[in-house]
Each structure stands twice: as C-alpha cells, then as structure tokens.
Amino acid sequence: MRDQRLWTWHVMAGLVILVFLGLHMTIMHLDAIVGIFNPADPHPIAWANVVARARMGFFTVSYIVLLGAALFHGLYGLRNILFELGPGRGVKSVLNVALTVGGVGLFVFGAWAAWAAGVLARTL
Amino acid sequence: MTAPDNVTFRIRRYDPASQQPPAWEDVTIPYTHGMTVLDGLRVIKETRSATLAWRSSCRMGVCGSCGMFINGHPRLACNTQITELGTSLVTVAPLPNFDIIRDLVPDLRPMFDAHAALMPHIIRTDVEEMHEPTGEYFQTPHELEQFLQFTYCIKCGCCMAACPTVATDPAYSGPMPLAQSHRYNADSRDGGFGARKKVLATEKGPWKCHYAGECSQACPKGVDPARAIQLMKRQLVFDYLKLYKQPCPSKVTQKPTEVRRRPDVPEAPAATI
C-alpha cells in the first residue's frame, strides 16, 4: 500500500508544482497584464519588487508549499531511479531513511529561510 | 526486399550441461518462398544441427510459444517472414530479461508466477452461479470495449523482453501480468479489484513503469500494455483518494422470453453447457 500512497503524493506534488509554475510565469512574464505582483517597479526581479513580495504572507506560504512539493516530487523520483539499480532490501531501507531525513532537513532549512526572508523584508 | 537465394542464421547457442558460456553459431540454408524464421529453424534442426532447441507449437501466431529476439527485436518466429527483415542475415537469440534454459528457450516461470499472483480471472462472490450458470452476466458493448484489446494477449513474453524496467528491476511484475490484471479490473463482470490491489499497491505494481512504450511496440498481437498500466495507475490513484468506486459486478441476465424469432433466422443449436 505504501507504493500506492507514495505515487499518489508524487502526482499531487506534480500538480502543486504545475500551479506554482503558472504563478511564476504570471509574475515574471504576465504582470504587465495582471498588475498585482510587482507593485514597486515594472521589472519583476527588481530589488524593490522582491522585497515587496517577501513582505506578503501569501508568498511566504507559497514558497514553503512549493519547497515541500518540489522536494517530495524530486526525491521520490530519485528514489525510483536508485531502486532500479537493483539494491538489496537492506540498502533500500537505508536509502528510504536517508532520503526521508535529507528531505525533511532540507524542508526545515528552506522553510526557515523563506520565513526569515519575510521577517527581514518587513524590517527594511 | 527481393527474396535472397540463401539465408544465414546467426543463432545464440547455450547448453547449461556443457558448462560453456553462450556462443554464436552461423548456419546458411537455402531460402524457400514464404519462409519464416521458424521454418528456417526447423530446416536447420532437420539438416544441420539436431541439438538446436527452441519452443514452438501452433505456427500461426496464436499460442505465443516462439517468442525470440530476432535481429534485435522481440518477435514471434512463426510470424516473422525472412523477407520482412530486409536482410539475408537473421540473428536469433532467446528473449532478453529471462534466464535461458537452453539455446532459444527462455525460462518464463517468473513471468507466469507474477501473472498468477495478480489473479488473472473473474472474481465474484456468487461462486455457485459461476460453477453452475443459470444465465449470462450482463455486459454492454461499451463495457466490453474497456478491456477487449487486452484479451488478445497470448503471453509470449515479447513485451517483457522489450521492457527496460523489467531489465533492471526484479521486483517489477512487468507489462504482461499488469496488463492482464487490468484486463480483469476493467471487466464489468469482475469484482476482484480489492483482492488484486493487495499486490498492485506494492512495489510489484505499475509504479516503476516509465511509459517507454516498448512493450506496446513489441506486442505481436497489437495489444497496448503501456496503456493498460497507465489506466491502472489512474485507477489506483483514484482509489487512494477515495474517488474510485468499484462498480458492482454485473448481474445475471436470463434469456428474453417475450421475443419471437424471425422466421428467416434458423433456430439456434441446443446449448452444450
């Protein structure tokens, strides 16, 4: 049952990434039409716009959700590739633990960075 | 290609009793009109090399016994014309991704074990009706379409030989067993999805399929196992999300009693079961 669960989450994470990819494309290339994500400057990666977005709670949450989805999606794919090399059951268990611990560690670090960026942006 | 005068068969020979590694043997025989690879092997066995071993039976692409690796592709030897290959050099080896029993005979037991583990048969609760049928299970033409193409599988193993995942992952069930499992999951008369799910939801299930599509390319009967595997993945994802409702197996339907036979249609012969 675990493989069914992991695959379903893999697909769901892919959908989340797709949504955020759409958001990224909108911010970077369509904001001249939409006009809400780049309040300070017409150029989307201008420093003032980056700071303005970092102050918005919506973007802090978006960064954290995208980080979780991308990490799970990518690490599950990596796990599948490594498992196809034909490791034994013991090595598979070690890989499962290593990828889980590595993934959770990266998520915690990345989530902290996103949150800290938001806090820092509010002080500027 | 115009028919050649002679055909050279480069055959992979292996005899486990000899303790020697597999080796190639070249045999040239005269081409005869309409010769298939299987015909050529028979000529070689009768006239040149009596110890050559392979598996074949029906000689008309129905039994699925003579799957071989012919000029780099898994094919049925009985279904492959020499002229179709476009060369007078025919390389014949046993199907890859299987152990070799001898010469061109692969050991198909792992494939059939995986097939049996996925319960490729109708599963219902009305066992009595199945053993002593009082009528027929109702099925519409649309319901039949959902699985019909997968019933054409002859279990030759060509899809397993072509699959890159089977080549690397011994835990993966492979395209034939998975497609046959889907054939029954998609059958409106069947109620065995829950039982099969116990195997499909594990690492033996469809998750490792990359959708390379080689299985569908290789199938000599035009079955599309890659499609079956993707449909199965969708079914299992929906099942996990509680969005899939296993339909009730179809009911037994009796013969219509109020319909009159047209006078120009002859009466059906008596039932034999």
pLDDT average, residue stretch A53-59: 90
pLDDT average, residue stretch B133-153: 93
Which residues fall within 8 angstroms of residue B160, CB to CB, at 6 or more apart?
B95, B97, B98, B111, B166, B174, B175, B176, B215
Mean pLDDT, chain B, integer: 93
pLDDT tens for B158-192 read 999 999 999 988 889 999 999 999 999 999 999 99
Q: Is the pLDDT at B247 greater than 90, yes or no?
A: no
B 165-204 residues inside an 8 A Cβ radius of A: 165, 168-170, 197, 200-203
List, in sequence order, every residue forming a beta bridge with B24; answer none if it has no partner: B12
**Which residue from B86, B187, B90 is spatially nearest to B142, judged by alpha carbons?**
B187
Distance CA A93, CA A99 (A): 10
Distance CA B50, CA B45 (A): 5
List, in sequence order, every residue forming a beta bridge with B253; answer none if it has no partner: B136
Q: Same domain for B96 and B116?
A: no
Percentage of the residues of chain B whose pLDDT score is greater than 70 = 99
pLDDT tens for B107-129 read 999 999 999 999 999 998 888 88
Task: Tell me the CB-side half-sphere exposure of residue A36, using CA atoms within 13 A.
Answer: 6
SS3 B75: strand
Say if B240 is an interface residue toward chain A (CB within 8 Å): yes
CB B73 within 8 A of CB B37: no
pLDDT average, residue stretch B72-95: 96
**What does the pLDDT read at residue B219?**
97
Lowest pLDDT segment from A104-113, B22-31, B57-66, B256-265: B256-265
In this structure, what CATH number is given to the domain that contains residue B141? Answer: 1.10.1060.10
Q: Is the pLDDT at A105 greater than 90, yes or no?
A: yes
- The H or E element spanning position B136 is strand B136-137
Phi, psi of B91 (to 5 degrees): -95, 125
Distance CA B176, CA B224 (A): 10
Residue at B233 is within a domain: yes
Amino acid at B172: Y
Distance CA B40, CA B5 (A): 13
A57 Cα distance to chain centroid: 16
pLDDT average, residue stretch B199-210: 91
For residue A38 the two structure tokens come to 């780049």
Residue at B72 is within a domain: yes
**What does the pLDDT read at residue B127?**
86
**What does the pLDDT read at residue A32?**
75
In this structure, what CATH number is given to the domain that contains residue B83? Answer: 3.10.20.30
A116 Cα distance to chain centroid: 16
Residue at B28 is within a domain: yes
Give me the residue from A3, A11, A85 closest to B203, CB to CB. A3
Distance CA A6, CA A76 (A): 8
**What does the pLDDT read at residue B169?**
87
**What does the pLDDT read at residue A13?**
97
SS3 A47: helix
Distance CA B122, CA B266 (A): 33
Distance CA B4, CA B87 (A): 8
More confident residue, B271 or A114: A114
Percentage of the residues of chain B whose pLDDT score is greater than 90 = 77
CB A8 within 8 A of CB A61: no
CB B110 within 8 A of CB B179: no
Could A8 and B205 be called an inter-chain contact, meaning their C-beta atoms sit closer than 8 Å?
no
pLDDT average, residue stretch B15-26: 93
SS3 B253: strand
**What does the pLDDT read at residue A109?**
97
Strands (DSSP E) contained in B71-190 are: 73-76, 89-93, 100-102, 105-106, 136-137
More confident residue, A46 or B255: A46
- Chain B residues touching residue A83 (CB < 8 angstroms): 169, 203, 208
Q: Same domain for B57 and B91?
A: yes
Residue at B144 is within a domain: yes
For residue B260 the two structure tokens come to 């009159």
Q: Quote the minimal CA–CA distance from B202 to chain A in Å.
A: 5
Give me the residue from B165, B202, B237 closest to A84, CB to CB. B165
What range defines the domain where residue B17 resides? 6-106
Number of domains in chain B: 2
Name the closest residue on chain B to residue A79, using Cα atoms: B208
Q: Same domain for B34 and B139?
A: no
**Which residue from B221, B214, B215 is spatially nearest to B76, judged by alpha carbons?**
B221
Q: Is the pLDDT at B1 greater than 70, yes or no?
A: no
- How does strand B89-93 pair with strand B6-13? parallel
Tell the burial category of B172 from Cβ atoms under 10 Å away from its Cβ (0-12, 13-18, 19+): buried
Q: Same domain for B182 and B165?
A: yes
In this structure, what CATH number is given to the domain that contains residue A113? Answer: 1.20.1300.10
What range defines the domain where residue A21 resides? 2-123
Distance CA B18, CA B13 (A): 11
Distances (CA, A) of A41 to A36, A44, A99, A114, B123: 11, 7, 41, 22, 65
Distance CA B213, CA B164 (A): 10
Number of domains in chain A: 1
Residue at B55 is within a domain: yes
